Amino acid sequence: MSEKKFRYGNIFTYSSLQFSGNLEEYFAKHAKKLVVFLIMPRLKNKDNLVRLYKEGKLIKEEKVQLSDNIFLYYFLWLLNYWRIIFSYFSFNEKIISLSFHPISLFGISLQKMFRHITFVFWIGDYFPPTNLSLTIYQRVKQFYHDRIDYTCYLGDGINKKMNGRIVDTNKRKTVMWGVKPKHLKRKLSKNNFVILFVGVVKESQGIEHIFSFLKENNDCFLNIIGICDAALYKKYKKIIKEYKIEKQIFFPNKFFSDNELNKLSQKSHVGIAIYDTDPNNPTYYTDPGKVKAYVEMGLPVIMSDVSAVSEYIKKYHSGEVIAQDTQAVKKAIAKIKKNYHLYEKGVKAMTDYFYYENYYEKKLKFLEKLK
């Protein structure tokens, strides 16, 4: 029996227990060796993992605990990254380090001294430098960006900010999240309309407009699957009580497993992501995983006109792109209700375009030459 040929050699990259473009599954399948560091948000930092795959098989998994303290969180992240690079890979192995955060680029010279490593900086965010800490962060990213040979961007907005224009070459290009349709059997109510929100809950995501909509539409329901800080959770629970919409909202303030989320999505009609459209909002520039997660679950999307992915929602008619206000939510839901099957077809067309196997193989062709 001939030995299986792998598309890539040895890869280190990041992932998450939340949506992260199916990168772990993709590289586990196509890299001869993959080490993936699953990093969770600081609010839920106890579920971090390191996984080792060899020739497509999961060989080892270890838990890594970081910290709630912001400084310790990043310090422990850095220490664990160095530990992973030096303990999971040998001196003789060629490594591709696919990093989404500049923290993995600290000590480049030291890493190259002891490991045969090529860095790929996949920039997943752009934070407008509105204060000193963000100014420093962006300058650090720009510093490494200008010195790393290979760079990807999670959206054209980031690409343009980092280069002054949109660049598309073998060494610098936009690579958005890939999707893997779940083909879930839908169990939709004919009498009630269910809205799904997934992800970290922030004030910039227009959730209060959904509350206002629910107040006037008692046949509509909202599932909020994600976490927020204690102060915001208290504020939203107070609004929910004032509006008398407690029976229309499920908001446990926690993340769900994939199986639990899939079950909820089967009973949901749309996914919603009405971000703040201010250019100072980081989502303005990137490819929000929330939207791609909805599309994977087969849900039409209601989102604001922010990030490059909104153009694909329009192109494939896989949802409605709206302003961040209550009336816009009302109109979008009415349109989707009226032509639901048409939007489902649009979602199918969008998943075909972003199907992770074909999309990543094409976009990440340059990695094959680095093994």
Residues 219 and 78 in one domain: no
Question: What's the confidence (pLDDT) of residue 1?
Answer: 42
Residue 241 lies in a domain: yes
> Structure pTM?
0.90
Q: 188 lies in a domain?
A: no
Question: 342 and 360: one domain?
Answer: no
The answer on 14 and 83 residing in a single domain is yes
Domain tally for the chain? Answer: 2
Same domain membership, residue 219 and residue 316: yes
pLDDT tops 80 at residue 14: yes
What is the structure's pLDDT at 254?
A: 84
- 234 shares a domain with 290: yes
Is 293 found in the same domain as 266? yes
**CATH number of the domain that 49 lies in?**
3.40.50
Instruction: Establish if 63 belongs to a structural domain.
Output: yes
pLDDT at 43: 65
Least confident residue range of 13-17, 144-148, 300-304? 13-17
Classify residue 184: in a domain, yes or no. Answer: no
Same domain, 100 and 197: no
Answer yes or no: is 46 within a domain.
Answer: yes
pLDDT average, residue stretch 45-58:
91
**13 and 162, same domain (yes or no):** yes
Q: How far apart are CA 50 and CA 96, in angstroms?
A: 16
Q: Is residue 2 situated within a structural domain?
A: no
Please indicate, yes or no, whether residues 225 and 327 belong to a single structural domain of this protein: yes
Mean pLDDT, rounded, of the chain: 92
CATH classification at residue 330: 3.40.50.2000
Q: Does a structural domain hold residue 349?
A: yes
187 inside domain = no
pLDDT tens figures, 243-273: 999 999 999 998 787 888 888 899 999 999 9
Domain enclosing residue 25, as ranges: 8-178+355-370
Please tell me whether residues 206 and 171 are part of one structural domain.
no
* 172-200 pLDDT tens trace: 999 999 999 998 888 888 889 999 999 88
Instruction: Indicate if 308 and 364 belong to the same structural domain.
Output: no
342 shares its domain with 362:
no
